[in-house]
Structure 1
Amino acid sequence: MDKKATVQKSGMILPRDLSERSWERIGSSLRELTNSSAWWLADWLIFGEATYGWRRYREAIERTGLDYQTLRNYAWVARRFEHHRRRDSLSFAHHAEVTRLSPPEQDYWLRKAEQQKWSRNELRKAVRASLAEQTRELSPSQSNGDEKQEVTQLSESAGADKRRKVARLTIELSPGQLDYYSKVAAAHGLSVDKWVTQVLDAAERRTA
């Protein structure tokens, strides 16, 4: 029977006869604790700011001796993910990787990472590759004020000589419409521009 590891404030003492299986279990537990503590600290900070105001919670943080900027980064990620959208099977770092994406895109990539059992680095690589591909295929459109947002898509048509010509199509959407279409596109594992392309292609085939 294995002796138990002893945890102290300044470290952990592991018995010499600790089995490999027990050692692995300890590592898994520490990983879960580290991941959870980031969420806990973030929620703690958000609560303090909302409840006690800027000065009071800033003073409280200084008294704890915790790193202020690190906590602010934690809180920034936590604010982007309501509790029901956080995935226990993924780390806090996984969520941080997709923080800058829209909520539908966040959910899509986190679901992929969960299904594929990606590490944080594998998720980062997949997201960056996808964004790079979108950048090559389509230049980002400019927002037209608060009331209108544009989705720009390249539409291809074949000429008589079978050479493909490229035209730029601009579609104006309200923020609500863009959010809805983003969710529909994410459900198909696509960005909005690629989903629009598929819809247009399908319409063209039906009328051909």
Structure 2
Amino acid sequence: MGTHATVQKSGMVFPRNLSERSWEQIGASLRELVNSSAWWLADWLIYGEVTYGWRRYKEAVERTGLDYQTLRNYAWVARRFEHDRRRDSLSFAHHAEVTRLSPPEQDYWLRKAEQQKWSRNALRRAVRASLAVQSGRAELPDSAGDGGQDATAGAASPAGGRSGSEITTLTIELSAGQLEYCSKAAAAHGLPIDKWVARMLASAERQSA
């Protein structure tokens, strides 16, 4: 066996005498490949939508064996970042964390993440803390974990108050599709997603009263 790893469709075979440095470089390359593939698939889907029409490109996606909903989620993020606004030093997941923000806010937080070398979770916590300060609430808990996306809202107490200890913080875990729907609905009302959710909860409370 040589001194290089061998890539197969079902895995990777490593030689016994592979240096630690080479092993590290392989890991870094795989990381870049995984990160880039989300952007590539997103742009591939968007091109198909624009060029071939919904039915034809959806049939083509099905023939590839790729998961259509996953691609839609990727495309939802990619549409919010023109190529010149995507940062190669950050992961696709970093960009996904700030999609609900305005473009200037997106650029600000991605620049901060790049400068501070934040992980995706560190970026999430920083953005949440900032949103909490803007809305006058304490820092929101990071309870969604690595695998989910969430929208957090401060709901009014039954008496309608929104100050002091009467504020209740809710953390709602959403799928990417649900988050996309809520983000669009919030944008249609000119509201951040947390304030839109709070408004919906208040409306439901009034209707049930």
Q: Segments of 4+ in structure 1 off by > 6 A? A: none
**Unaligned residue ranges in structure 1 (runs of 5+):** 138-208
Deviation at 1:17, TM superposition (A): 1.6
TM-score, structure 1 as length reference: 0.64
**What CA deviation, in whole Å up to 9, does each residue of 1:49-108 have, x standing for no partner?**
000000000000100010111100000000000000000111111000000000000000
* Aligned-pair identity (%): 85
Deviation at 1:19, TM superposition (A): 1.4
Alignment partner, residue 78 of structure 1? 78
**Unaligned residue ranges in structure 2 (runs of 5+):** 138-209
Deviation at 1:132, TM superposition (A): 1.2
Aligned to 1:75, what secondary structure does the other structure show? helix
Which is higher, the Rg of structure 1 or of structure 2? 1
1:66 corresponds to 2:60 = no
Alignment partner, residue 31 of structure 1? 31
Deviation at 1:15, TM superposition (A): 1.1
Partners of 1:122 and 1:23 lie apart in 2 by 27
Deviation at 1:8, TM superposition (A): 0.4
Cα-Cα RMSD = 1.0
Partners of 1:19 and 1:31 lie apart in 2 by 19
Alignment partner, residue 51 of structure 1? 51
**What CA deviation, in whole Å up to 9, does each residue of 1:185-205 have, x standing for no partner?**
xxxxxxxxxxxxxxxxxxxxx
**What CA deviation, in whole Å up to 9, does each residue of 1:154-206 have, x standing for no partner?**
xxxxxxxxxxxxxxxxxxxxxxxxxxxxxxxxxxxxxxxxxxxxxxxxxxxxx
How many residue pairs get aligned? The number is 136
Alignment partner, residue 206 of structure 1? none
Partners of 1:20 and 1:34 lie apart in 2 by 21
Deviation at 1:18, TM superposition (A): 1.3
Aligned to 1:136, what secondary structure does the other structure show? coil
